[in-house]
Chain A
Amino acid sequence: MSRRKIIFILGITSIVYYGIIITVFYDHNRWAREFSYIQKMMEQGQFVFSMERPSFWKKTLDFFFNDYRYRPRYQQKNRGGTPWWKPNFTTEQKKKIAKFLNKFGGFSPWDKNLDIKHLSDSINSFYAKIRERENEEFSKWLKATAGQSGKLTAEKSIFFLIAGIEAMRYKEYKRAKEILLKGIEICNDRELLANFYQNLGLIAHEQNNLDEAEFYFKKSLRLQPKNQGFNINLGWNYFLKRDFKKSLKYNKIAYEIDTTYWIPRYNIAISYLALKEYNKAFEYYKGLSEDKLEENAFFYILEDLFTLKHFEPDNMNIDFYIGYIYLNKKMFSQARVYFERFLNASSNAPKQLREIATYYLNKIKENNK
């Protein structure tokens, strides 16, 4: 057999071989695998979001994992029910957006059958297209809209919203704000407008401009008064502004919209706690033992309590609630520390709380023996 034939046979064999290997062993969840270390970091309580300037991978990672409940303590200001990168759209709008995104070779974030591989590939192309679009047309649009906004249709405002959200994801808030404000100029859909304002509020929130955030949150709430996430966001904004009565008011509205959702319930609890209505607060916290909350939810609730403690370091009654959360999380040693601290420090505390604290403390001590 000639040398060339042998090389040809070997070449074909290796091509077929690699083809078979890749098709048979193709990893459909390879993205999840690549990001599994991030999950591990989260499980260990290390917050990936405290990292600085994000790389491309980090930006892509954020899409999957960026959720407010993972934000580091005190940096987590916004805690709305809806993550800002998933705005609340109606089904028709979702369809429109999906159709619009498809023009970019994009994806629909609401597709239930979306698999992670497809999603990741789409995100890549989506980013690429957005960038392209931005360079070519988007800058033109921005210039054009300065004088004659009427030329752009309302449908195109969705693009401004998506681009604005994308800029927010890049933490380029100035640019995001500019884009969103331009979008508002051409948007005539009430629900979409609400989303624009909500995101503007979130930008202000991120930049610590709580007054400005309040202004935008209120505007979006006026357009969509029955949106739970919007109510929660405004409520939490008031909480950070230490206007606990208003925080309670908006969280109660959010709670009425959907009583099964846990965030407004524990927001109400902490608002009562901040208003020093300890028994009422405890009634809401009691639900912890009945609720089947995710592990992160406990830390989320704890985080809020620590935020309140940050506001009021001398209020030792907060220690009782922190201890109670730890108790429900079955972190007994921490619970014991906080119960003891509460009992030693606050002689003026409500009787009921003192009795509960001593009861649990004794139980923990007995179990330790």
Chain B
Amino acid sequence: MIFDILVLSSGPIFLIVWFFYHLHTWKRINLSKSVNVFLFTFFLGFVALVIETQISKYTVLYLDAEELLNKIGFLFFAVSFTEEIIKILPVLIFVYKKDFFEEPYDAIFYTIIAGASLSFFENNLYIWSEGFGVVIPRTFLALPAHTLTAAFSGYFIGLAFLSKSKKTEIIYIFVGLFIAMLLHFVYNLIFTIIETNQLLIGIIFLVVFWGIALKLMKKHIKLSPYKPHNLYFSDIF
């Protein structure tokens, strides 16, 4: 039973990680470090769970609130912020500006790992509580959504890495966090508040923003020092 759950919930995650690993054509990313990120984010998933339940317990912001504003407030202030900060923290702790962190795409890859890890945590949680039926919708909706928001924050961490001044560096990180928060909030809004054509709007949202995210990723990949025309003569000879 436990084995079934693990296979079901982790399969899609390996697929998505495999895809982004191979998206970078010229470099082999350090996978052992990504395991660290994955495990640490998984652990932080429990922290997120505690924070979100405590906020919904002690404040007027909770999901079953009768007032719409309270619901929306919960989605924005509690869920989005907590989950997004949990996705970027492991990257900043284990990866950012370390020796193996060589290019902006690394930030995207590792944040995506963090996003996938959080999604893995949630998948397990939902499978335990609601049964195997949740795996398929979560594979096609929640996993892409988590990795999408992670990709945006990763893109901005990459920009921060490239920036020369300290101010712009921290600003980029916060902007990335805020944009990821917004996207996360909109996604949650679609699947909790909107009642008609929920699935259609959700898929359109994911397709559009994944298109943008992939474009941004390509931008970063182009900046890779491993790209053939970027190589110095001294490196070749």
Residues of chain A touching chain B, judged by Cβ–Cβ distance below 8 Å, are 1-3, 6-7, 9-10, 13-14, 17-18, 21-22, 25-27, 30
Residues of A within 8 A of B29 (CB): none
Q: Is the CB of A21 within 8 A of B77?
A: yes
Is the Cβ of A1 less than 8 Å from the Cβ of B169? yes
Residues of B within 8 A of A30 (CB): 57-58
Give chain B residues whose Cβ lies under 8 Å from the Cβ of A27.
58-60
Contact of B61 among A3, A7, A21 (CB under 8 A): A21
Q: How far is the CB of B89 from chain A (nearest CB, A)?
A: 7
A115 vs chain B, min Cβ distance (A) = 15
Distance between A20 CB and nearest chain B CB, rounded to angstroms: 9
- Nearest-neighbour CB distance to chain A for B33, whole angstroms, equals 14
Indicate whether A14 sits within 8 Å of B59 (C-beta atoms), given known contacts A6-B173, A21-B77. no
Cross-chain contact B93 with A7 (CB below 8 angstroms):
yes
Partner of B173, one of A2, A10, A17, A18: A10
Contact A3 B96 (CB under 8 A): yes
A18 touches B51 (CB 8 A): yes
Q: Report the minimum CB–CB distance from A36 to chain B (whole Å).
A: 9
Q: B166 at interface (Cβ–Cβ under 8 A)?
A: yes
Cβ-neighbour of B96 out of A6, A9, A17, A21 (below 8 A): A6
Interface string of B56-82 (1 = CB under 8 A from A): 011111000000000001000110010
A10 to B91, CA, bound (A): 12
Interface residues on B, range: 20 to 34
B215 within 8 Å of A (CB atoms): no
Contact residues in B for A14 (Cβ distance below 8 Å): 81, 85
B55 contacts A10, C-beta separation under 8 Å: no
- Interface positions of B from 72 to 112, Cβ below 8 Å from A: 73, 77-78, 81, 85, 88-89, 92-93, 96-98
Distance between A110 CB and nearest chain B CB, rounded to angstroms: 28
Knowing A1-B170, A6-B170, A10-B89, the reply to whether A26 touches B59 (Cβ < 8 A) is yes
**Chain A, Cβ-Cβ closest to B174:** A13
- Which secondary structure dominates chain B's binding surface? helix
- The majority secondary structure among interface residues of chain A is helix
Residues of A within 8 A of B58 (CB): 22, 26-27, 30
Give Cα A14 to B88, complex, Å. 12
Query: Are B170 and A9 touching (Cβ within 8 A)?
Result: yes
In contact, A21 and B78 (Cβ under 8 angstroms) = yes
Q: Min CB distance, A60 to chain B, in Å?
A: 15
Cβ contacts A to B, 27 pairs, < 8 Å: A3-B96, A3-B97, A6-B96, A6-B169, A6-B170, A6-B173, A9-B170, A10-B88, A10-B92, A10-B173, A13-B174, A14-B81, A14-B85, A17-B81, A21-B55, A21-B77, A21-B78, A22-B59, A25-B55, A25-B60, A25-B73, A26-B58, A26-B59, A27-B59, A27-B60, A30-B57, A30-B58
Chain A residue with the shortest CB-CB distance to B97 = A3
The 3 closest A-B pairs by CB, nearest first: A25-B59, A1-B166, A27-B60
* Residues A25 and B170 in contact in the complex (CB < 8 Å), given A7-B92, A10-B85, A10-B92: no
A25 to chain B, nearest CB (A): 4
CA distance A7 to B173 in the complex (A): 11
* Complex Cα gap A118–B170 (Å): 42
Q: How far is the CB of A289 from chain B (nearest CB, A)?
A: 35
Q: Is the CB of A7 within 8 A of B89?
A: yes
A111 CB, nearest partner CB in chain B, Å: 23
The CA-CA distance from A10 to B174 in the complex, in Å, is 9
Q: Which one of B55, B73, B92, B97 lies within 8 Å of A22 (CB-CB)?
A: B55
**In this complex, which of A3, A9, A13 has the most chain B Cβ atoms within 10 angstroms of its Cβ?**
A3
| CB contact between B92 and one of A6, A13, A17 (< 8 Å): that residue | A6
Kindly report which residue of chain B lies nearest to residue A20, judged by CB atoms: B77
Taken together as a complex, chains A and B put the C-alpha atoms of A22 and B55 apart, in Å, by 7
Query: Which residues from chain B contact A21 at a C-beta distance below 8 Å?
Result: 55, 59, 61, 77-78
